[in-house]
Chain A
Amino acid sequence: MGRLKGVSTMVTLKELTKEEHWLPGNATCAGCGAAIAIRLAQKALGPRTVFVVPACCTSVIQSPFPFTAFATPCLNIAFEAAAAAASGVVAAYEARGLKDVTVLAWAGDGGTVDIGIQALSGAAERGTNFLYVCYDNEAYGNTGFQRSGSSPYGSRTTTTPTGKKEHKKDVPMIMAAHGIPYVATACISYPLDFVSKLRKAKELVGTKYIQVLTPCSAGWRYSTERTIEMGRLAVQTGIWALFEIEHGKFRLSTPSAALVDRTKRRPVEEYLKEQGRFDQLTPKDVEEIKRWIDATWEKYKKLQLNV
């Protein structure tokens, strides 16, 4: 915990609200990473937050009618339409002069990286004043774990049974290319980092995009108690980097900052071997993953040095 470099607000666990707006007794799988992310987001943003949720795991884990685990308002919407529906809510609040409500599009990687990217890009290009969080379990979790553009190279999904042949689509950089005021990556295993980023984003005007890694026991195939551990390994091996791009300025977050030095990155095998979705990787696949990590970090190094 302690001071987090590069994030201006200092947050501690103790000061997070004890109020729960994500109610227990819901429909999540045991050990659900997405649910942890929802709780953190609600604690970061407060109850005056409207969730706009396209088809994704969150559509289901909230429980079926007539009850909901969301104690904050939640508009479910079609798969590709989160950012467009959120744009409408924002416009209505602006038209009505309602100022102190946060509109939060809360979408899985499917509804963001693939089918949802048009609406997201449109909303960002229009400078829509909202927060968009993509919680990323690296596949279409809701429907049983089919590949998404966010699935990593080599991962087994039900539509890539011999492993995905393409690398993960870099949506944070795509969003940064829109010139929006704030882009960040996060991970539920670094909860205070995620909370700080959400709070910072909330204070900015314009489109704010955060992509938070939310490991999924059912899909990644590891024992349920290791959800937080998997997120930590993802960051420590460098396969998922924590950073912010604030008004175009790139800055690695504390948990990732030292990893520009590749000797400080844990070997990615330590992450891959723990998950059933990677159990058919060949040595060539592992080399390709390492190459990608190294190449990605070369990019980050250059961006960081421009600071």
Chain B
Amino acid sequence: MRDLPLTPLSRPRVASTGKTGSWRTFRPTINTEKCTRCLLCWIYCPEACIELDATNLPKVNYDYCKGCGICAHECPLKIIKMEREESA
């Protein structure tokens, strides 16, 4: 227990709760060919798990995506599809 801090101080870390991707029932897939980089999916993701590449193309980090579907619902071109996860 001596490696504990003197009082509960938590350190910033990705996956602070774990690989929350395991929570989801549906997963978003983005049609990258049609994407116009409006950035709405990125800004509206509650999990901050849509990453932008150098050209601002969004990419879902499936380790953490909880499958809420906001990105698909808000995409103005409707090019994000929510697909049921295959059972393991």
Asked if A and B bind, the verdict is yes
Which A residues lie at the B interface, using CB under 8 A?
Answer: 13-14, 16, 18, 20, 22-28, 30-33, 35-36, 39-40, 62-71, 188, 191, 217, 223-229
- For chain B, residues 44 to 82, give those with C-beta under 8 angstroms from any C-beta of chain A: 44-49, 52, 56, 61, 63-64, 66-70, 72-74, 82
**Closest beta carbon of chain A to B28's beta carbon, Å:** 10
In the assembled complex, which residues on chain B have CB atoms less than 8 Å from the CB atom of A33?
46
Contacts of A18 in B (CB 8 A): 52
**Residue numbers in A under 8 Å from B42 (CB-CB):** 13
Choose from B10, B48, B56, B70 the contact partner of A65 (Cβ within 8 Å).
B10
Complex contact B67–A30 (CB within 8 A): yes
Number of interface residues of B (CB under 8 A): 39
CB of A220, distance to nearest CB on chain B (Å): 14
Which 10 A/B pairs are nearest by Cβ-Cβ distance?
Answer: A225-B69, A25-B15, A63-B16, A31-B68, A67-B16, A24-B64, A30-B68, A35-B46, A30-B66, A68-B10
* Closest residue of B by beta carbon distance from A22: B48
Which residues from chain A contact B23 at a C-beta distance below 8 Å?
30
Q: Are B18 and A16 in contact (CB under 8 A)?
A: no
Q: Is the CB of A227 within 8 A of B12?
A: no
Q: How far is the CA of A16 from the CA of B45 in the complex (A)?
A: 14
Q: Is the CB of B68 within 8 A of A227?
A: yes
State in angstroms the CA–CA spacing of A22 and B50 once bound together: 12
Rounded to whole Å, the gap between the CB of B53 and the closest CB of chain A is 10
Q: Which of B's residues lie within 8 Å of A, judged by CB?
A: 8, 10-20, 23-24, 38-40, 42-49, 52, 56, 61, 63-64, 66-70, 72-74, 82
Cβ of B68: which chain A residues have Cβ within 8 Å of it? 30-32, 217, 224-225, 227
Cβ of A228 and Cβ of B74 under 8 Å apart? yes
Contact status B12-A23, CB under 8 Å: yes
For A23, the chain B residues whose CB sits under 8 A away are: 12-16, 48
Cα A64 to Cα B13 in complex, Å, equals: 12
Main SS at interface, chain A: loop
Contact, CB under 8 Å: A62 / B46? no
With A40-B43, A65-B10, A67-B10 already in contact, the answer to whether A225 and B16 are too (CB < 8 A) is: no
Closest residue on chain A to residue B18 by CB atoms: A25
Bound: A67/B49 CA distance, A: 18
Alpha-carbon distance A28/B56, docked complex (angstroms): 26
Residues of A within 8 A of B72 (CB): 225
Known A-B contacts A225-B69, A225-B73; the reply to A39 vs B48 at CB < 8 A is: yes
Q: List 13 A-B contacts (CB under 8 A).
A: A22-B48, A24-B49, A25-B18, A28-B47, A28-B66, A30-B46, A31-B69, A39-B43, A65-B10, A66-B8, A67-B12, A226-B73, A229-B73
Residues of chain B within 8 A of A68, CB atoms compared = 10-13, 16
Q: Which of A27, A39, A224 is close to B17, meaning CB atoms less than 8 Å apart?
A: A27
A39 CA to B44 CA, complexed, in Å = 9
Question: In angstroms, how far is the closest chain A Cβ from the Cβ of B63?
Answer: 7
A26 and B18 CA atoms in complex are apart in Å by 7
Q: A16-B43, A33-B46, A36-B44 are in contact. Are A69 and B16 (CB under 8 A)?
A: yes
* Alpha-carbon separation in the docked complex, A261 to B5 (Å): 58
From A25, A31, A223, contact of B46 by CB (8 A): A31
In the complex, what residues of B have CB within 8 A of residue A229's CB?
A: 73-74
Tell me whether A227 and B70 are in contact (CB under 8 A): yes
Cβ contacts under 8 Å, B11 to chain A: 66-68
CB pair B44–A70 under 8 Å, yes or no, is no
Task: Report the minimal beta-carbon distance from A42 to chain B, rounded to whole angstroms.
Answer: 9
Residue of B18, B20, B39, B69 touching A224 (CB-CB under 8 A): B69
Identify which of B40, B47, B56, B61 contacts A26 (C-beta below 8 A): B47
